[in-house]
Amino acid sequence: MGDPLSERDAWRLLALGDELNMLLRGVLRHAREALDACTPEAFEQLALEWNRIIGLPADYAGLVSKRGALMFALWREPVLLEAWRDTDGELVDALRDWILPLVMPPFVRGMAQRPDRLGLMIATLADMWEPPRALREWEARGVRA
Protein backbone atom coordinates (compact mmCIF):
# COMPACT_ATOMS: atom_id res chain seq x y z
CA MET A 1 0.00 0.00 0.00
CA GLY A 2 3.05 2.19 0.20
CA ASP A 3 4.06 5.23 2.17
CA PRO A 4 1.39 7.51 3.62
CA LEU A 5 0.13 9.96 1.02
CA SER A 6 1.18 12.87 3.23
CA GLU A 7 4.82 11.76 2.87
CA ARG A 8 4.84 11.61 -0.94
CA ASP A 9 6.01 14.41 -3.19
CA ALA A 10 3.91 15.74 -6.07
CA TRP A 11 5.50 13.43 -8.67
CA ARG A 12 4.79 10.33 -6.61
CA LEU A 13 1.20 11.46 -6.06
CA LEU A 14 0.77 11.91 -9.82
CA ALA A 15 2.28 8.47 -10.45
CA LEU A 16 -0.09 6.91 -7.92
CA GLY A 17 -3.01 8.72 -9.57
CA ASP A 18 -1.99 7.31 -12.95
CA GLU A 19 -1.70 3.79 -11.52
CA LEU A 20 -5.09 3.99 -9.81
CA ASN A 21 -6.66 5.37 -12.99
CA MET A 22 -5.26 2.44 -14.95
CA LEU A 23 -6.79 0.02 -12.43
CA LEU A 24 -10.11 1.87 -12.42
CA ARG A 25 -10.24 1.77 -16.23
CA GLY A 26 -9.66 -1.98 -15.98
CA VAL A 27 -12.64 -2.23 -13.64
CA LEU A 28 -14.72 -0.33 -16.18
CA ARG A 29 -13.65 -2.75 -18.95
CA HIS A 30 -14.59 -5.66 -16.70
CA ALA A 31 -17.97 -4.06 -16.01
CA ARG A 32 -18.61 -3.67 -19.74
CA GLU A 33 -17.98 -7.39 -20.25
CA ALA A 34 -19.88 -8.45 -17.12
CA LEU A 35 -22.91 -6.30 -17.95
CA ASP A 36 -23.52 -7.52 -21.49
CA ALA A 37 -27.13 -8.31 -20.57
CA CYS A 38 -27.52 -4.84 -19.06
CA THR A 39 -29.29 -2.08 -20.94
CA PRO A 40 -26.94 0.34 -22.71
CA GLU A 41 -28.34 3.22 -20.66
CA ALA A 42 -27.44 1.51 -17.39
CA PHE A 43 -23.86 0.94 -18.51
CA GLU A 44 -23.61 4.53 -19.76
CA GLN A 45 -24.64 5.76 -16.30
CA LEU A 46 -22.11 3.47 -14.64
CA ALA A 47 -19.38 4.67 -17.03
CA LEU A 48 -20.32 8.31 -16.42
CA GLU A 49 -20.00 7.95 -12.65
CA TRP A 50 -16.85 5.81 -12.84
CA ASN A 51 -15.18 8.30 -15.22
CA ARG A 52 -15.93 11.06 -12.72
CA ILE A 53 -13.89 9.12 -10.17
CA ILE A 54 -11.11 8.58 -12.71
CA GLY A 55 -11.17 12.32 -13.41
CA LEU A 56 -10.53 13.30 -9.79
CA PRO A 57 -7.20 15.08 -9.24
CA ALA A 58 -4.15 13.30 -7.83
CA ASP A 59 -4.39 15.10 -4.50
CA TYR A 60 -5.15 13.58 -1.12
CA ALA A 61 -8.96 13.66 -1.46
CA GLY A 62 -8.88 12.40 -5.04
CA LEU A 63 -6.46 9.57 -4.33
CA VAL A 64 -8.29 8.25 -1.27
CA SER A 65 -11.53 8.41 -3.25
CA LYS A 66 -9.99 6.44 -6.10
CA ARG A 67 -8.68 3.87 -3.60
CA GLY A 68 -12.11 3.60 -1.99
CA ALA A 69 -13.76 3.05 -5.37
CA LEU A 70 -11.20 0.39 -6.24
CA MET A 71 -11.75 -1.41 -2.92
CA PHE A 72 -15.50 -1.31 -3.53
CA ALA A 73 -15.02 -2.84 -6.98
CA LEU A 74 -12.72 -5.55 -5.62
CA TRP A 75 -15.30 -6.40 -2.97
CA ARG A 76 -18.20 -6.53 -5.45
CA GLU A 77 -16.19 -8.40 -8.13
CA PRO A 78 -13.65 -10.59 -6.29
CA VAL A 79 -12.46 -12.01 -9.62
CA LEU A 80 -10.64 -8.68 -10.11
CA LEU A 81 -8.35 -9.57 -7.19
CA GLU A 82 -6.94 -12.51 -9.14
CA ALA A 83 -4.67 -10.15 -11.11
CA TRP A 84 -2.44 -10.09 -8.00
CA ARG A 85 -2.60 -13.82 -7.23
CA ASP A 86 0.94 -14.58 -8.46
CA THR A 87 2.64 -11.86 -6.44
CA ASP A 88 0.33 -11.44 -3.43
CA GLY A 89 -1.76 -14.59 -3.10
CA GLU A 90 -2.00 -14.42 0.69
CA LEU A 91 -3.20 -10.80 0.56
CA VAL A 92 -5.68 -11.65 -2.21
CA ASP A 93 -7.14 -14.42 -0.05
CA ALA A 94 -7.30 -12.19 3.03
CA LEU A 95 -8.99 -9.36 1.12
CA ARG A 96 -11.48 -11.70 -0.56
CA ASP A 97 -12.24 -13.97 2.41
CA TRP A 98 -12.47 -11.66 5.37
CA ILE A 99 -11.09 -8.11 5.14
CA LEU A 100 -13.35 -6.68 2.42
CA PRO A 101 -16.46 -8.55 3.66
CA LEU A 102 -15.76 -7.13 7.12
CA VAL A 103 -15.13 -3.48 6.24
CA MET A 104 -17.13 -2.79 3.09
CA PRO A 105 -20.71 -3.16 4.38
CA PRO A 106 -20.24 -0.48 7.08
CA PHE A 107 -18.44 1.73 4.53
CA VAL A 108 -21.35 1.45 2.11
CA ARG A 109 -23.89 1.89 4.93
CA GLY A 110 -22.09 5.12 5.81
CA MET A 111 -22.60 6.27 2.19
CA ALA A 112 -18.87 5.91 1.47
CA GLN A 113 -18.17 9.15 3.31
CA ARG A 114 -14.69 8.32 4.63
CA PRO A 115 -12.55 6.55 2.00
CA ASP A 116 -9.44 7.67 3.89
CA ARG A 117 -10.52 5.66 6.94
CA LEU A 118 -11.46 2.72 4.73
CA GLY A 119 -7.94 2.59 3.32
CA LEU A 120 -6.40 2.78 6.78
CA MET A 121 -8.66 0.02 8.10
CA ILE A 122 -7.85 -2.29 5.19
CA ALA A 123 -4.11 -1.65 5.50
CA THR A 124 -4.19 -2.20 9.25
CA LEU A 125 -6.10 -5.45 9.01
CA ALA A 126 -3.89 -6.70 6.17
CA ASP A 127 -0.66 -5.87 8.03
CA MET A 128 -1.44 -6.61 11.65
CA TRP A 129 -4.12 -9.26 12.00
CA GLU A 130 -4.48 -12.85 10.96
CA PRO A 131 -7.79 -14.16 9.64
CA PRO A 132 -10.42 -14.64 12.34
CA ARG A 133 -10.13 -17.94 14.19
CA ALA A 134 -13.51 -19.13 12.92
CA LEU A 135 -12.36 -18.65 9.32
CA ARG A 136 -9.19 -20.66 9.96
CA GLU A 137 -11.25 -23.43 11.56
CA TRP A 138 -13.66 -23.51 8.60
CA GLU A 139 -10.77 -23.71 6.16
CA ALA A 140 -9.25 -26.58 8.18
CA ARG A 141 -12.55 -28.41 7.64
CA GLY A 142 -12.58 -27.57 3.93
CA VAL A 143 -15.41 -25.01 4.17
CA ARG A 144 -15.11 -21.71 2.21
CA ALA A 145 -16.55 -18.57 3.77
Record the pTM.
0.82
Full 3-state SS string of 16-62: HHHHHHHHHHHHHHHHHHHCCCCCHHHHHHHHHHHHHHHCCCCCHHH
Q: What is the pLDDT of residue 12?
A: 86
What is the phi/psi pair of residue 113, to 5°? -80, -20
The pLDDT score that the predictor gives to residue 133 is 61
pLDDT of residue 37: 66
Mean pLDDT of successive 10-residue stretches along the chain, which has 145 residues: 69 91 94 77 88 96 94 94 92 92 90 85 81 63 59
Burial 26-48 (b: 16+ CB within 10 A, else e): ebbeebeeeeeeeeeeebeeeee
Task: Please report the pLDDT score of residue 4 as a whole number.
Answer: 66
User: For position 10, what pLDDT does the model report?
Assistant: 82
What pLDDT is recorded for position 121?
A: 87
Q: What is the pLDDT of residue 72?
A: 95
